[in-house]
Amino acid sequence: MELTPEDITAIVLSLKVAFAATALSLPLGFAAAWLIVFRTFRGKVLLEVLVNLPLTLPPVVIGYLLLLLLGKNGWLGQLLASAGIHLIFTWKAAVIASAVVGFPLLVRSIRLGMESIDPLLVKASRTLGASWLDSLLSVILPLSMKGIIAGSSLMFARSLGEFGATIILAGNIPGVTQTIPLAIYDYASSPSSTAMALSLCFVSIVISVAVLFLHELLSRKIDRSNGL
């Protein structure tokens, strides 16, 4: 097994993208889970559908829709462009693609974590003078940490494998937006470099196993510190 410098770049980029996508989604996923678990409001079903949508649509479609939204003519794209921000074709686009695709998995895990919090603990914090935001950060956040970690590891793993949405939104530019799956795609589309494709697959597997282990480790640690 040998890796070219380009492969190494792709691996580093993949890790960077997966990491950034996870970090970016965490606050949003946490907020979405909180809304779904602790709040009752109109349009909750809509939120649930929206959150779960990326799961159902093929990533290619998601990528295409994102391109329409964030592109030159998309309303969000125009907004960002007027602020001097160009996302398409940069590694940031890869981050956004991964983030959207992995979001439902993240929210589902955090929800499960939150659903096991005793609501009286939250109430207790409110009567002790914490505003809802304070209570969210000082009680709900630490107590749903297990779900957050599970969700993050799931999302990280999913991001490492994200292909369809990324190639559309970010392009397949070696050294800039070419993540491991895109590099594998490149290799695999030429019969002469199947071996290279397989080495990258192997790297991918090794990373995800490492993530799984890290997750087990962290969640055991949290079990211990919460005395569960």
Residues that bind other proteins (CB under 8 A): 64, 67-68, 70-74, 77, 81, 86, 88-89, 118, 120-121, 123-132, 134, 138-139, 142-143, 145, 167-168, 171-174, 176-178, 185-192, 225-228
Among 28, 61, 176, 218, binds its own copies (CB under 8 A): 61
Enter the DSSP assignment of 137.
Answer: I
> Is residue 158 a contact partner of residue 101, using CB atoms and an 8 Å limit?
yes
Q: Quick one: what does residue 86 bind among its own copies, other proteins, none, with the CB cut-off 5 to 8 Å set by partner type?
A: other proteins
Question: Residues 125, 22, 215, 33: is their CA dihedral positive or negative?
Answer: positive
CA-to-CA dists, residue 1 to 7, 38, 182, 190, 204, angstroms: 12, 50, 19, 18, 13
Structure tokens at 52: 């779960």
Crossing angle for the helix pair 44-56 and 91-115, nearest 10 degrees? 130
- Residue 32 or 154 having the CB closest to its own copies: 154
Task: Give the one entry of other proteins, its own copies, none that residue 16 binds, where binding means its C-beta sits below a cut-off of 5 to 8 angstroms depending on kind.
Answer: none
AA identity, residue 91: W
- Residues interacting with its own copies, by CB under 8 A? 48-49, 52-53, 55-61, 64-65, 105, 108, 112, 154, 157-158, 160-164, 180-181, 184-185, 188, 197, 201, 204-205, 207-209, 211-212
